[in-house]
């Protein structure tokens, strides 16, 4: 998948894949402004944005594959970046945002490894303009965007709710079983904090995950409840 458009309950969401890891960037346009989640560098977004000059950017978490386009966005748009407060601190550290280790994810694949080495300016850091502790809310073009700090997949992970219709779940809401894979996330925290937060939301919400295909929250919850019921700490 390179690019697709998802229509849900009157909303049109542009979906872009950062193809090395299928990390997903999302964009919603309202006339001269765009709302973007987890930016990566992708000229397709510039085409879809047309003459929109202002961007409101939200980050689901601090990992490099979800923030690699923040500085690029700032070159192309008048841009405000929002995140949870823990995330805002960690994107500034090449160690915490994992960018210093990013090429090593591809050590077993020479071709990808060389591509990463030559195409990405690493290590990488960026800045968040506005951060929310625990919970934050922004009204944008008549839409209500809520951010809930959650932890789980990473210390700086948040859940982002758009109009109570869409959930940008970052890497906490995945159906590939990798929500805690390769991170310092704790199974117990996941069970006791993340799952209850997800249960509180409507299962009819459309989840736009950090990797892979979108689906209803009910679908993801069924998978996640089963996976995390029996795991021991
Ligand atoms: Zn991640």
Per residue in 123-133, pLDDT (tens digit) is: 999 999 999 99
Res 232 pLDDT > 80? no
For the cut 70, the answer to whether the pLDDT of residue 146 exceeds it is: yes
HSE-up of 34 (CA within 13 Å, CB side)? 27
Residue-level pLDDT at 181? 85
Output the CA 197–ligand 1 centroid distance in Å: 19
Whose structure tokens read 């990992």? Answer: 63
CB of 131 closer than 8 Å to CB of 90: no
In angstroms, what is the span from residue 23 Cα to ligand 1's centroid?
A: 9
pTM flag (> 0.85): yes
Average pLDDT over residues 71-84: 98
Nearest to 161 by CA among 132, 188, 186, 127: 132
- How far does residue 34's CA lie from ligand 1's centre (Å)? 23
All residues with CB under 5 Å from ion ligand 1: 63, 171
Q: What is the pLDDT, as a whole number, of residue 49?
A: 97
Domains, the chain, ordered by start: 3-170 (3.60.15.10)
Measured between alpha carbons, how far is 194 from 189 in angstroms, rounded to an integer?
A: 7
Eight-state DSSP code of residue 103? G
pLDDT of residue 39: 98
* Distance in angstroms (rounded) separating the CA atoms of residues 152 and 133: 16
Predicted pLDDT of residue 80: 98
64 CA to centre of ligand 1 in angstroms: 8
**Given a cut of 80, is residue 1 above it in pLDDT?**
no
């Amino acid at each position: 998948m390179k690019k697709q458009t998802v229509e849900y309950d009157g909303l049109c969401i542009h979906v872009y894949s950062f193809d090395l890891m299928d990390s997903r960037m999302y964009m919603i346009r309202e006339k001269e402004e765009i709302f973007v989640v987890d930016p990566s560098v992708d000229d397709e977004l510039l085409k879809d944005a047309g003459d929109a000059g202002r961007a409101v950017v939200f980050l689901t978490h601090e990992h490099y594959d979800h923030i690699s386009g923040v500085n690029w966005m700032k070159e192309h748009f008048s841009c405000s970046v929002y995140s949870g407060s823990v995330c805002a601190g960690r994107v500034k550290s090449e160690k915490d945002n994992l960018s210093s280790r990013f090429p090593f994810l591809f050590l077993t694949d020479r071709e990808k490894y060389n591509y990463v080495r030559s195409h990405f300016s690493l290590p990488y850091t960026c800045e968040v303009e506005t951060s929310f502790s625990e919970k934050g809310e922004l009204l944008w073009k008549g839409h209500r965007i809520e951010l809930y700090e959650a932890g789980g997949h990473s210390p700086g992970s948040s859940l982002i709710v758009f109009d109570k219709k869409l959930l940008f779940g970052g890497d906490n809401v995945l159906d590939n079983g990798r929500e805690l894979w390769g991170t310092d996330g704790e199974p117990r925290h996941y069970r006791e904090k993340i799952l209850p937060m997800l249960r509180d939301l409507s299962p009819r919400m459309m989840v736009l995950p950090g990797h892979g295909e979108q689906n209803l929250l009910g679908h993801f919850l069924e998978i996640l409840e089963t996976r995390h019921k029996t795991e021991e700490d």
